């Protein structure tokens, strides 16, 4: 059995996860501690990089302590360490990378600089077991909206499509601000949408024309359409619930339609939806319905594993260990623009 420590600090959550590789290769999650600085960013309406970096500095060691207490383990039990080295905020990444290098040097264990994005996909293996090869991953978060073909989590991930402007989660935050809802925008819009009529307003579906890139996404125009619709009714009472529901329907419609289309045309029969927006109620419901209709098996991690966390990085690290991927060197640095195809550095 092998114990893998995972460290995540790419944005505003300090995540520490501990995963055990069992003798049969199965993964067992032993601890998952997350310290969020989201409340410190709320008044700014978005993440402030310097505030996030300072929060990571303050939260990382206490989070490690809590994780090992929860797992009933000692630091000396660790056999390998995985840390997010990109993509993300440079200062935030450097806090986690520096800590991981210090722990790896002190414990004399291998270090793996891991990619945050495949980490979101790896989180699903903690709940539903190994992924079939190939599978399609729809990654939807505050900073990323991508379709990924996953042949091997440790060695071969290919981007099929991506957003050309705003990520879906970013659009949620901006629309929430337009509607006077709190930051982050995902949960309050989802809550309001449940009370609204998704057919009340027909907002545009970006990049869905016959000549558009069939697997890419665009949410900037949708965000602008919501803003213009609200501005045109200045002085009137805005039906926030209906606007939220109609906006959310447009997002979920495009995401699920393009994902199912990609899986069908690529001959892939398993889809994983991951990332913070995967916890959205309408996205998960519509994805389930469309996948069932297309004969595609849908896998969605539980909400806690969808958002940024250390467990997903520990899980990805476990896959790297099992695949006998060469560890990173101790001169590892952060790479804010790390491409998704580079699983480990």
- Is 57 annotated to bind ligand? no
Helices 220-231 and 168-178: crossing angle, nearest 10°? 10
Check the annotation: does 38 bind a ligand: no
Residue 276 annotated as binding? no
CB contact set of 343 (below 8 Å; sequence gap of 6+): 114, 115, 118, 153, 154, 155, 157, 316, 320, 325
236 vs 127: CA distance, rounded Å: 47
Q: Give the up-direction half-sphere exposure of residue 40: CA atoms within 13 A in the CB hemisphere.
A: 16
321 belongs to an annotated ligand binding site: no
**What is the three-state SS of 96-131?**
HHHHHHHHHHHHCCCEEEEEHHHHHHHHCHHHHCCC
Question: Binding site annotation covers 131?
Answer: no
190 is known to lie in a ligand binding site: yes
Check whether 142 is labelled as a binding-site residue.
Answer: yes
173 is in an annotated binding site: yes
Class of residue 84 by CB neighbours under 10 A (exposed 0-12, middle 13-18, buried 19+) = buried
- Give, as one character, the DSSP assignment of residue 239: -
DSSP conformational letter for 163: B
- The tokens describing 223, both together, are 């965000």
On the 0-12 / 13-18 / 19+ scale of CB atoms within 10 A, 68 is: buried
Give yes or no for a contact between 112 and 83, defined as CB atoms under 8 angstroms apart. Answer: yes
Question: For residue 331, how many other CB atoms are within 10 A of its CB?
Answer: 6
Is 139 annotated in a binding site? The answer is: yes
Tell me: is residue 280 an annotated ligand-binding position.
Answer: yes
Query: Is 12 annotated among the ligand-binding residues?
Result: no
Q: Is 17 annotated as a binding residue?
A: no
Q: Please state the residue numbers annotated as binding site.
A: 116, 120, 139-143, 173, 186, 190, 280, 308
Q: Please state the residue numbers annotated as binding site for substrate.
A: 139-143, 173, 186, 190, 280
Q: Please state the residue numbers annotated as binding site for Fe cation.
A: 116, 120, 308
């Amino acid at each position: 059995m092998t114990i893998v420590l995972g460290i995540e600090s790419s944005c505003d959550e300090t995540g520490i996860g501990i995963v055990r590789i069992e003798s049969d290769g199965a993964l067992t999650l032993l601890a998952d501690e997350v310290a969020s600085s989201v409340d410190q960013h709320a008044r700014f309406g978005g993440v402030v990089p310097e505030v996030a970096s300072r929060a990571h500095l303050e939260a990382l060691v206490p989070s490690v302590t809590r994780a090992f207490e929860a797992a009933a383990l000692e630091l000396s039990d660790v056999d390998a360490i995985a840390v997010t080295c990109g993509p993300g905020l440079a200062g935030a990444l450097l806090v986690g990378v520096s800590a991981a290098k210090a722990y790896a040097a002190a414990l004399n264990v291998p270090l793996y600089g891991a990619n945050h994005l495949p980490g979101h996909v790896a989180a699903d293996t903690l709940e539903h077991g190994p992924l079939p090869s190939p599978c399609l991953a729809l990654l939807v978060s505050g900073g990323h909206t991508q379709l990924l073909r996953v042949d091997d989590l440790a060695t071969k991930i290919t981007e099929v499509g991506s957003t050309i402007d705003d990520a879906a989660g970013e659009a949620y935050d901006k629309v929430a601000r337009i509607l006077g809802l709190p930051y982050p925008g995902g949960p309050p819009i989802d809550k309001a949408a449940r009370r609204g009529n998704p057919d009340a307003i027909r907002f545009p579906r970006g990049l869905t024309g016959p000549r558009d890139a069939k697997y890419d996404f665009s949410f900037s125009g949708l965000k602008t359409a919501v803003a213009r619709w609200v501005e045109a009714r200045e002085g009137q009472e805005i039906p926030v619930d209906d606007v939220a529901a109609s906006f959310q329907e447009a997002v979920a419609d495009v995401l699920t339609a393009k994902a199912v289309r990609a899986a069908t045309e690529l001959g892939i029969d398993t889809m994983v939806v991951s990332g913070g927006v995967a916890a959205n109620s309408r996205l998960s419901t519509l994805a389930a319905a469309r996948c069932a209709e297309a004969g595609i098996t849908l896998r969605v991690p539980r909400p806690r594993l969808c958002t940024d966390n250390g467990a997903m990085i520990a899980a990805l690290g476990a896959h790297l260990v099992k695949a006998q991927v060469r560890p990173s060197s101790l001169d590892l640095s952060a790479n804010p623009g790390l491409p998704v195809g580079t699983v480990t550095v």
